[in-house]
Amino acid sequence: MTDSANSMWGGRFAAGPDAIMEAINASIGFDQRLAAQDIEGSRAHAAMLAATGIIEASDAEAIREGLLTVLSEIEAGTFQFSTALEDIHMNVESRLKELIGEPAGRLHTARSRNDQVALDFRMWVRDQCDVASNGIAALQKALLAQAETGADWVMPGFTHLQTAQPVTWGHHMMAYVEMLGRDASRFADARARMNESPLGAAALAGTSFPIDRNMTAKELGFDRPSANSLDAVADRDFALEFLAAASICAMHLSRLAEELVIWSSAQFRFVAMSDRFSTGSSIMPQKKNPDAAELVRAKIGRILGATVGLFTVMKGLPLTYSKDMQEDKEQVFDAADNLMLALAAMEGMVGDMSANPDALRSAASSGFSTATDLADWLVREAGLPFRDAHHVTGRLVALAEDKGCDLPELSLDEMKSAHDAITDGVFDVLGVDNSVRSRTSYGGTAPDQVRAQIARWKTQLED
């Protein structure tokens, strides 16, 4: 095993590393996930080397065929990864040499493991931005379906988790569609910024070979090659941006998960979660626990932890590459895996859950939720300054509370006891349905506004 490792490094090292050094130095246990990107990058590099006359076309063809064989072995699960060879790059190159012999040694001309790993990791993260965007879109569609079904179902809107004003179920669902839309835009922005190829930066200073970096950039789907070789190998901003976007997205998922936990409780009964995303209790037969929602709620911890971890790794590194940067991948891999799992689980929960319109309406009608409508009526119809209207409404809320009733149940005489300008027209605004229908400002909770936003998002997601 040691001889194999030494053969990759030539004559500089006379003895192999001991077991501890091998264990801390090797990354093949996790960076084998970059195999497809590593081989794709190597194929593009070999084609460019042949096109520029740096290597023979016959060698490039042998390399291409050999790399395809290596990829098929990895995909079939028959490839033997070696810790002694440290990482995915050396494992692939070693196997390539076994397959095609001398031409394999020409593959690494005009590149370094520094630009190679920067390329592989950047391509992998770029792919994850696309996967995240697809997962977000799927969840948005599930939310849109819920919103369309309940565009005019009345429910309480909350501030401080206290009943504030009536809103619609559709409006509440659409709030998360908007949040997720911003998440998708962050992944798209990050993807656009990271879409520069570091291949050709070599170790740190570029290369004296007449390479064509535009050719490899285009072949690998990048917009352009990176403009500074030092920055190209030292940069991990792309991973940090991905993690930052993932953290915000996971935070949004956690907020929705918390609402599902609350709403599915016996105290709220706003929604019923499907059996597919619930569990029972080992001792209490009546229990139906929203475990999937609780686990999604917790994912922000490890995703944000990965973000902080990578920031900490990168914060003090001088240009350009340091071995510290080997610690960049496991955290990103874990965060990506857990974000995609959380998105898929949330899509399933939202798609399967059943809202309870009666419980929503009952809750919306409690807690003096139309008090603001009364204050607004006093401003519009009685000409009171809003602050005065606020005080009058507060007195009527106190009166209703003393009587154990809601505002619409007060008599006109009781209303007039707070201000004699009140007429029976006030009762037209006090019902929860009247309240939500009146919120017609752009972005408001009126059902027509909600349906307009649903239509806009449907078109946007189709596009």
Q: What is the pLDDT of residue 1?
A: 40
Q: What is the pLDDT of residue 456?
A: 97
Spatial separation of the C-alpha atoms in residues 423 and 381, rounded to whole Å: 9
Q: What is the pLDDT of residue 373?
A: 82
Mean pLDDT of 355-360: 96
Decide if 147 contacts 169 (C-beta within 8 A): yes
The region of weakest confidence among 57-61, 168-172, 324-328, 428-432 is 428-432
Higher pLDDT, 3 or 342: 342
Phi, psi of 284 (to 5 degrees): -110, 105
Q: With 90 as the cut, is the pLDDT of residue 205 above it?
A: yes
pLDDT in tens, 257-284: 999 999 999 999 999 998 888 766 555 5
Q: What is the pLDDT of residue 280?
A: 61
Which one of the listed residues 160, 208, 282, 441 is annotated catalytic? 160
Spatial separation of the C-alpha atoms in residues 255 and 70, rounded to whole Å: 44
Give the chain's largest Cα–Cα span: 101
pLDDT in tens, 10-40: 555 555 567 777 778 788 888 899 999 999 9
Phi, psi of 210 (to 5 degrees): -80, 65
Phi, psi of 110 (to 5 degrees): 65, 25
What 3-state DSSP class applies to 31? helix
Tokens of 269: 């009964």
Residue 9: how many CA atoms within 13 Å on its side-chain side?
Answer: 15
pLDDT in tens, 402-424: 988 888 888 998 888 989 888 88
pLDDT in tens, 98-123: 999 999 999 999 999 999 999 999 99
Q: What is the pLDDT of residue 2?
A: 44
pLDDT in tens, 155-174: 999 999 988 889 999 999 99
Burial degree of 340 (CB within 10 A; 0-12, 13-18, 19+): middle
> Is there a catalytic annotation at residue 252?
no
Pick from 43, 16, 241, 232: which is nearest to 129 by CA? 241
Which one of the listed residues 281, 322, 366, 411 is annotated catalytic? 281
Determine what percent of the chain is predicted with pLDDT higher than 70.
Answer: 94
Helices 113-149, 88-100: crossing angle, 10 deg rounding: 120
Q: What is the pLDDT of residue 164?
A: 81
> Is there a catalytic annotation at residue 281?
yes
Instruction: Read off the pLDDT band of 427 (50, 70, 90).
Output: confident
What is the average pLDDT value for the chain, to the nearest integer?
Answer: 92
Q: What is the pLDDT of residue 18?
A: 73
- Residue 315: its H or E element: none
Tokens of 409: 């149940």
